[in-house]
A and B are shown apart, each in its own frame.
Chain A
Amino acid sequence: MDASPPPPKAISIAILAMGGEGGGVLADWLIDMAERAGSHVQATSVPGVAQRTGATIYYVEIFPGIAVVAGKLPVLALMPMPGDVDVVIASELMEAGRAVQRGLVTPARTTLIASTHRVYSMTERTAMADGRVDSAKLIDGARAAAKHLLAADFAEIAEKSGSVISAALFGALFACGLLPFPRSDFEGAIRRSGLGVDASLRAFARAYDVASAGQETAAAANDQPPVPPPASLRAAIATFPSASRATIEAGCSRLVDFQDVAYAQAYLDRLEPFRTTGDVRLLTEVARHLALWMSYEDIARVADLKIRRSRFSRVAEEVRAGNDQILRIKEFLHPRLSEIADALPAGIGRWLLRSASAGAVVRRFTAKGRVVETTSIGGFLLLYAAAGLRRIRRRSLRFAVEQQRIEAWLGEIHGAAGRNDALALAIAECQQLVKGYGDTHARGLANYETVMATLPRLQGRPDAAERLSKLRQAALADDSGERLKAATLELVP
């Protein structure tokens, strides 16, 4: 073995950031800090223009001044080389995955600093149901690939400090201890950049604390605390198996909120047969989907949800409106003839849909979408009145239609339950297809009917549940119905 010290080498840092995330700012801080400390620095990037392209890699090499041999300049690389990167900073979790995919993160050498928050890709966002990838897999892969992993929700840290993620990541970079510069040098670079200095220093400090504690934090969940169901129903709910109770409680609360206690009681009555037939998983899923179906979205429901005080405060918080500011909320509504007919008593609703002249009049008023300001008295009263349609909901056209559909659906589930619980579950899950408003709702319902129509031909097959689930997934694969058509041909004999 050679006993001499290892030859001097550049410290290499790759920053993967998306447009607008301040990857360039981070690189500039690094350059400024290192140059002031007398190091040789080279930085390159293949910049995406602002937000228009995906992730950009900023690559910085720092050659400590002390290591320079007189009369010689270090030759620094222009791009990260797999196996030769000391620190990879990923401003987002999927970008951390990309750094791993590109081989930049190697177990012998690389410290990976990754923010665990997600900026969803186009594919994830445009999916018709849940197209999001598994964050846990990305974190596990990052841990397996790196020598050290510093993972935390640096975006949240930055936001809480009123700063941007680059400042938090700079703090984590200091925490990883691989750069031969003291804290004052890091902070000096932030100070010299001159913009939002105090907030950036706060984010830097918090991120440093979190990262040096070595505690991985996952992105925070945003679940709401459950609303307890009314006392009068609690005894009935208690008769259901405990594993299903949280869902049933949530279902009851939802239906009380949607209509009244009697409607929630009807919900429990509908669940009753599943208390004894089929397994608890089936019961829970039926309870979940049934509550959703029974609380279908109609004009009254939408108006009701829009005018609540809790909603006003939620909007204020979401848009960050302060107490000294005035907040005006404007709704984009586009009710159509069919939705108006839906809200009317069944007889009148049917007449309206049939009558050419009455339909034409309503259509003229609904040809264009309307903007209603809920924070104005007139707008509020309009929605308040619409929410009042709840009182005649039980007599409405839509109510009648939905109850029929629900009964038919429950009938199918019950028919399979006990005999083939997996199939019963797959049928219950088809409720997922019916969602949205207007054309979206019509398309979802048509898909639901297409899928349910295959049941008679699937019954009795051992893999009926699997095939039905595949059909449901195909219906959610595109909004043109092509995949469902193909899947039906393939899966239904």
Chain B
Amino acid sequence: MIPADLSEGIPVAERSFKKEAEKLRLGDGAEFHGEGILAVTKALLQSGVAYVAGYQGAPISHLMDVLTDSADILRELGVHFEHSASEATAAATLAASINYPLRGAVTFKSTVGTNVASDALANLASGGVTGGALIIVGEDYGEGSSIMQERSHAFAMKSQIWLLDPRPNLPSIVAAVESGFELSEASRTPVMLELRIRACHVHGRFTARDNKRPSFTLKQAMENPVRDTSRIVLPPASYLHEREKIEKRWPAAVEFIKSRGLNEFFSDGKTDIGIILQGGMYNTVARALELLGLADAFGDSRIPLYVLNVTYPLIDDEIRRFCAGKRAVLMVEEGQPDFIEQALHAILRKADLQTRVHGKDVLPKAGEYTGDAVLRGLRRFLEQVAPSLLPVALPAGAAEPGQPKAPAIAAAEAEVHPRPPSFCTGCPERPIFTAMKLVERELGPHHVSCDIGCHLFSILPPFNLGASTMGYGLGWAGAAALNAKDSTRRTISVMGDGGFWHNGLASGVGNAVFNQTDNVLIIVDNNYTAATGGQDIMSSSGGNPLRKTGNSIEKAVRGVGVTWVKTITNTYGIAAMRDVLKEALTTPVKGPKVVIAQSECMLNKQRRVRPLMHRLAKEGKRVVRERFGVDHDTCTGDHSCIRLSGCPSLTVKSNPDPLRKDPVATVLDSCVGCGVCGEVAHAAVLCPSFYRADIVTNPTRWERLVAGVRRRVIGFLQDRIERRLGAASA
């Protein structure tokens, strides 16, 4: 555990983005080097945005984090920036662009964030906008994604929001932001900019332009309010909106996209086949062509390409022009359903063009379009329509999967285990689930309803706890039906502090009170939204000059009518955690029961405490480092301790004992001394092999004195032990 004298700092996630923030100041002609999402941030300022809002989540957290650290730049430019309470809040924020010529942008993770936002987005899209409204969605799809695999495309289609999917290089992404605002204004329609994970994190460069102050300010808007009932979603205006979308806004958008050439044609006319692709797929397609010898390293292709930097709406004229005179085209469209491919068929059919359309017949029907998926798809397409273009020797990635492999390779592959996500070293959430495991041993299994956040890792080994997750803040709502009055066993729901403030207070806690549940909710409070990188929320315990923090979860829970509330302020105390859970599950008291489990996210805490301890030790101050260890000679290699913890710092090593073969448990030096190992050993009555070492740097004079006396007394007795052992083994 962190010594008390060091844990009193401000518990904030100590991450600084000041260096990145400086890049936002670059002016005309300067070269910007950095990540895609940071380039978007810079492009917003270059576009004269008046306000930005959003909800953090991979892969767009960085946009929020950098703007948080750019308060001075934003102030100079007169840009308002909010951490929204949820994606719905963020989307509703765009209402400022309905009546006023204000450019606004919001950002969140998609499709989960878009799901939450869709009520506001639908209203926004119905009435239409005056100022440019940009929705930047981080498309969390494919490898590394943590959410259900869906497409934002569907949201764009259902609400008629235009969807940009630019080529994944920084100049194209920046151009998409800038033209996105113009498109929005030209067609009075909100515009969605979709960026895949890799595009958000891609490091590249572009030539910067000066930042622009918004031409119309929020102050002007507030002091000159405008009202236009024809923009409000209420009959009869709502019927007019639908017609306006089709009759005015859509044609205006098509005209803008065409005239500005937002979609790109490459190498058109070179052969009588072609490829139509989402902008985001461009680099992958270009590389696949290069590997097949059909393009050079600069993307100069022998096959014509039509790149959809705008994937909705489609520009029928452009498609007809591209397909006319071509025998066949390949549609490279990631994700499903295949909206674009279907539309392509319809457009060609209506135009009576006989160009054959390939797409998901040669490419995977579902899943990420990785390099090898595209390479193989392209190969199959060419085999069917232009086999003479294929090289004699196909590159390795073009082979069909499942080819027999060398025995040594197959044997090695069989040894590879998956590495599912798990709790970090010293995570304060781990002991909560260890306690749940111990309660389960006594009371039997319970239905556990999970939420979104790090705590969801409880469903994986070693804990294997949890039956469902219904969305952010919906942990308790997910157990709402399991509320039978005659059940002898209660349900347990879990919710993080982030989910709680996002909507869980109303959808979970309020709902449970109103519907008279008798079940249990655990709220995991780790001081900020730990999972997304330590952003502040309502109940953050650290001060924040820009936000009002320190709002108590317990007060809020009591405020909506829960009376049985217990707060545990140290989750590492497993016995206490176990006892309060047991009480919540067995108490005769009826009604909703809420346990608030508070301890700061260790990952973020260590970012603050480690350098501090280092500094203090250097300055000659007394510092205590604590860590755990295992005595290998008393460890019998059963690993129960690991099964109740799963901490990355608690692992195994070869048994140094020549008589034993099973590996022993061992604690790595990355241990932060959180205390869980000792608590588990006690609470679960495991084994006496754990020890905690307190290492005192710069001890006081008194400590040195005591240590000296101890050393002498203990040394005397240890001499005796050694004499006995020496005599016996002589």
Contacts and interface: CB of A to CB of B under 8 A. Distances in A.
Interface stretch (A51-59, A352-360, A420-428, A465-473): A51-59
A8 interface: yes
B691 A133 contact: no
A93 to B, nearest CB: 9
A80 B691 contact: no
Interface stretch (A198-206, A250-258, A271-279): A250-258
A380 B717 contact: yes
B542 interface: no
B168 A436 contact: no
A438 B686 contact: yes
Interface stretch (A142-150, A169-177, A448-456): A142-150
Interface in A120-139: 120-130, 132-134, 137-139
Nearest to B695: A321
A9 B298 CA distance: 9
A33 interface: no
Contacts of B408: 137, 140-141, 143-144
Given A125-B651, A321-B693, A440 B643 contact: no
Contacts of B198: 44-46, 78-79
A25 interface: no
Contacts of A1: none
Contacts of B417: 94, 121-124, 133
Chain B, interface size category, equals 35 or more
B203 A140 contact: no
A246 B657 CA distance: 13
B201 A334 contact: no
B699 interface: yes
Contacts of B33: 35
Interface string A324-347: 111111111110100000000000
B397 A437 contact: no
B670 interface: yes
B144 interface: yes
B298 A72 contact: yes
Interface string B683-701: 1111110111111110100
Contacts of B633: 305, 311
A67 B661 CA distance: 56
Contacts of B340: none
Interface string A6-43: 01111000000011100000000001000100000111
Interface in A205-228: 221-224, 226-228
B653 interface: yes
A121 B421 CA distance: 11
B621 interface: no
A30 to B, nearest CB: 10
Given A75-B299, A230-B730, A124 B652 contact: yes
B179 interface: no
A349 interface: no
Most-contacted residue by chain B among A31, A52, A321 (CB, 10 A):
A52
Interface string B650-684: 11111011111111000001100000011001111
Contact of A52 (B424, B640, B718): B424
A197 interface: no
B4 interface: no
A137 B682 contact: no
Interface stretch (A178-186, A312-320, A400-408): A312-320
Contacts of A320: 669, 695
Interface centre among A143, A384, A440, A444 (most CB of B within 10 A): A440
Given A125-B652, A435-B638, A326 B699 contact: yes
Contact of B203 (A43, A257, A377): A43
B691 A329 contact: yes
Contacts of A257: 725, 728-729
A134 B291 contact: no
A48 interface: yes
Interface stretch (B111-119, B268-276, B280-288): B280-288
Given A103-B396, A129-B637, A332 B691 contact: yes
Nearest to B280: A78
B546 interface: no
B461 A126 contact: yes
B375 A309 contact: no
B570 interface: no
B402 to A, nearest CB: 11
A371 interface: yes
B283 A76 contact: yes
A368 interface: yes
Contact of B670 (A20, A143, A375): A20
Given A101-B413, A144-B408, A308-B718, A292 B629 contact: no
B18 to A, nearest CB: 15
B662 A83 contact: no
What is the size category of the interface that chain A forms with chain B? 35 or more
Given A308-B721, A435-B636, A121 B419 contact: yes
Given A315-B629, A437-B687, A251 B659 contact: yes
B717 A334 contact: no
Given A75-B286, A141-B409, A141-B411, A132 B652 contact: yes
B573 to A, nearest CB: 12
B195 to A, nearest CB: 12
Interface stretch (B64-72, B244-252, B703-711): B703-711
A222 B652 CA distance: 12
B603 A51 contact: yes
Interface in A350-409: 368-369, 371, 374-377, 380, 384, 387
Given A77-B371, A78-B168, A377-B713, A438 B638 contact: no
B207 to A, nearest CB: 12
A54 B699 contact: no
B372 A82 contact: yes
Contact of A250 (B203, B454, B658): B658
B397 A253 contact: no
Given A48-B421, A75-B298, A84-B397, A327 B686 contact: no
B471 interface: no
Interface in A71-119: 72-84, 94, 97-98, 100-101, 103, 106, 108-109, 119
B201 A81 contact: no
Interface in B38-76: 58
Given A368-B682, A377-B710, A122 B421 contact: no
A226 B658 contact: yes
Interface of B: 33, 58, 142-144, 168-169, 197-199, 201-204, 282-284, 286-288, 290-291, 296-300, 370-372, 375, 395-398, 406, 408-425, 454, 457, 460-462, 531, 533, 575, 603, 627, 629, 631, 633-634, 636-640, 642-643, 646, 648, 650-654, 656-663, 669-670, 677-678, 681-688, 690-697, 699, 703-704, 707, 709-710, 713-715, 717-718, 721-722, 725, 728-730
Report the 7 A-B pairs with minimum CB-CB distance, sorted nearest first: A141-B412, A54-B419, A83-B396, A369-B682, A81-B371, A46-B144, A435-B636
6 contacts: A20-B670, A47-B201, A54-B421, A137-B412, A306-B691, A326-B704
Given A130-B662, A332-B690, 20 more contacts: A46-B144, A57-B143, A78-B198, A81-B371, A81-B372, A82-B371, A83-B398, A122-B461, A128-B639, A222-B654, A231-B730, A308-B718, A315-B693, A319-B627, A321-B695, A329-B691, A332-B688, A334-B685, A369-B685, A444-B638
